[in-house]
């Protein structure tokens, strides 16, 4: 059965442009750019570029997953099979558990396995492989074997119409596992650098890509080979009144909330993008909270036992005496991710604005 050469869908209602996101092209001190030439790219193009560079520079690198051969359902792997061949870029059957285990095995021999899970909502059949095999391989073999070459990337987060099974953010389930690194970028430039760092990391990484940003987030992305350090948060906006912590697509909403707070109430917010969920940069958040005395944490995932709970617990321990007000979390509710109620469920900029105001109002 012939497979037609991949052709891009034409602009139609399906690919209607959403308004450009709130991204600014501020220089980021954590990115070391090797060349000065850059190009406007959206997130799926940035991810594609990172994988292309990984395949070019590492002869053992392979890319596999469901439907990646024709480019993937979000075009992240487009052109890769044509360029690098069928033995390096190939489709797998619908077997997430198999994909994860397969990645671990290949990585254990020293190879670089870049697996794709089609949606983060489908990670659960693979949980045993991730939690019990991938995370613990180095530990239980006394450092003889390890799965560091494995990177599993997957689209995550709300997209406007995803419903129960195309909108989840499972970072909390994965963060609870010692041995795994969980990364979630919030912009194309960071995505490319973080993905290259994740692929080359000596530890296995789960790379969650906010699917809402695939097309809508556009940024000037350097064309060369560069990495963004894992485990380091970045401060997107400096301020002295309140610290806001978030990750992924939520950063867009937090940026808007910061703007609203500044315009309407003159509140100066400091916005921190964790980038790496585990191991996370608690020092950066601590330094910020010592300065501002107030903290709001915000994420799409449900509030109970979301990763925000970890941030709050750690920060209250480190900064209790510096806090001027209780820490607030603005998150999704404890329900399955709804379809028709999505806009009420998501912690949008106005809910965050209310939280910022309350934290400032109640502070001593």
Partner 1 sequence: MLSSTLLKGNRHIVRAATSRYYFSTGPAVVFDLSGSFQTHNLETAPNETTECSKDELWNMFELMYTMRRMEITCDNEYKARNIRGFCHLYDGQEAVATGILQALDEKDSYITSYRCHCIALARGGSVKQVVAELFGFEDGMTKGKGGSMHFYNKKHNFYGGQGIVGAQVPVGAGLAFANKYNTPPGERMPVAIGCYGDGAANQGQIWEAANMASLWKLPMIFCIENNQYGMGTSIDRHSSHSDYYKMGNHIPGVRIDGMNVLAVREGMRFVKDYCASGQGPMYVEMMTYRYHGHSMSDPGTTYRNREEIAFTRSTRDPLEFVKKCLVDAEFATPDELKEAEKRIRKDVQQQVMEAKESAKPSMDSLFEDIFAKDLVSRSGSEFPPHIRMPDYAKSFWIDGKPE
The phi, psi pair for 44, rounded to 5°, reads -70, -30
Give the pairing of strands 181-183 and 276-278.
antiparallel
User: Site for partner 1 (CB under 8 A): how many residues?
Assistant: 55
Q: Which is nearer to partner 1, 2 or 11 (CB)?
A: 2
Three-state secondary-structure class, residue 71: coil
163 counts as binding partner 1 under rule CB under 8 A: yes
Nearer to partner 1, 18 or 164 (CB): 164
Spell out the residues 6+ positions from residue 202 whose beta carbon is closer than 8 angstroms to its own: 146, 148
Q: How far is the CB of 209 from partner 1 (least distance, A)?
A: 17
Instruction: Give residues 184-223 in contact with partner 1 (rule: CB under 8 A).
Output: none
Told to check if 344 binds partner 1 by CB under 8 A, we report yes
Residues 237-276 that bind partner 1 (CB under 8 A): none
Give CA separation, 342 vs 19, 147, 305, 333, 345, in Å. Answer: 19, 37, 20, 11, 5
d(CA 359, CA 294): 7
Single out the residue of 40, 264, 354, 362 in contact with partner 1 (rule: CB under 8 A): 354
Among residues 295, 319, 331, 360, the one that binds partner 1 under rule CB under 8 A: 331
Q: Which residues are marked as active site? A: 96, 166
Site track 296-315 with partner 1 (rule: CB under 8 A), x = hit: ------xxx-----------
Separation of alpha carbons 98 and 75, rounded Å: 23
Residues 40-99 that bind partner 1 (CB under 8 A): 66-67, 69-71, 73, 91-95, 97-98
CB 283 within 8 A of CB 233: no
Residue 66 or 219: the one with the smaller Cβ distance to partner 1 is 66
d(CA 303, CA 216): 26
Query: Quick one: tokens of 251?
Result: 């950063």
Nearer to partner 1, 184 or 346 (CB): 346
- Residue 345 structure tokens: 């469920």
SS3 content of the chain, % helix, strand, coil (to 5): 35, 20, 45
In this chain, which stretch among 31-39, 48-56, 104-112, 330-338 interacts with partner 1, using CB under 8 A?
A: 330-338
Backbone dihedral region for residue 138 (phi beyond 0: left; psi -120 to 50: alpha; all else: beta):
alpha
Residue closer to partner 1 by CB (options 189, 328) is 328
Cβ atoms 109, 138 nearer than 8 A: no
Say whether residue 335 binds partner 1 (CB under 8 A).
Answer: yes
Cα–Cα distance measured from residue 77 to residue 68, given in angstroms and rounded to the nearest whole number: 6
**Residues in region 102-121 near partner 1 by CB under 8 A:** 121
Q: Which stretch binds partner 1 (CB under 8 A): 23-31, 43-51, 312-320, 343-351?
A: 343-351
| Chain positions contacting partner 1, by CB under 8 A | 1-4, 6-7, 9, 13-14, 66-67, 69-71, 73, 91-95, 97-98, 121-122, 124-125, 160-166, 302-304, 331-336, 338-341, 343-345, 348-351, 353-354
């Amino acid at each position: 059965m012939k497979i037609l050469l991949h052709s891009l869908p034409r602009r139609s209602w399906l690919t209607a442009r959403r308004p450009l996101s709130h991204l600014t092209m501020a220089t980021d001190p954590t990115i070391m750019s090797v060349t000065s030439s850059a190009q406007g790219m959206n997130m799926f193009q940035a991810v594609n570029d990172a994988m292309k560079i990984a395949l070019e520079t590492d002869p053992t690198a392979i890319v596999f997953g469901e439907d990646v051969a024709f480019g993937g359902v979000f075009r992240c792997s487009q052109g890769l099979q044509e360029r690098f061949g069928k033995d390096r870029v190939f489709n797998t059957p619908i077997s997430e558990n198999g994909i994860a285990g397969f990645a671990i095995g290949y990585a254990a021999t020293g190879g670089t396995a870049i697996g794709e899970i089609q949606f983060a909502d489908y990670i659960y059949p693979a949980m045993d492989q991730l939690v019990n095999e991938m995370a613990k391989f180095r530990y239980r073999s006394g450092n003889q074997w390890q799965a560091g070459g494995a990177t599993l990337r997957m689209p995550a987060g709300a997209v406007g119409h995803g419903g129960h099974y195309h909108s989840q953010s499972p970072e909390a389930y994965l963060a609870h596992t010692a041995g795994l690194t969980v990364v979630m970028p919030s912009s194309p430039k960071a995505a490319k650098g973080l993905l290259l760092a994740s692929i080359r990391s000596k530890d296995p990484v789960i790379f969650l890509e906010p699917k809402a940003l695939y097309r809508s987030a556009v940024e000037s992305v350097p064309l060369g080979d560069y990495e963004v350090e894992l485990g380091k948060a970045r401060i997107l906006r400096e301020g002295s009144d309140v610290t806001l912590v978030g990750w992924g697509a939520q950063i867009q909403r937090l940026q808007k909330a910061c703007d609203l707070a500044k315009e309407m109430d003159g509140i100066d917010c400091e916005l921190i993008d964790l980038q790496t969920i585990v191991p996370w940069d608690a020092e950066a958040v601590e330094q910020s909270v010592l300065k501002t005395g107030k903290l709001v944490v915000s994420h799409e995932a449900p509030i109970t036992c979301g990763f925000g709970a970890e941030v709050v617990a750690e920060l209250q321990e480190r900064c209790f005496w510096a806090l001027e007000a209780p820490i607030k979390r603005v998150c999704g509710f404890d329900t399955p991710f709804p379809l028709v109620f999505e806009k009420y469920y998501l912690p949008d900029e106005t809910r965050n604005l209310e939280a910022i105001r309350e934290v400032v109002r109640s502070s001593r």
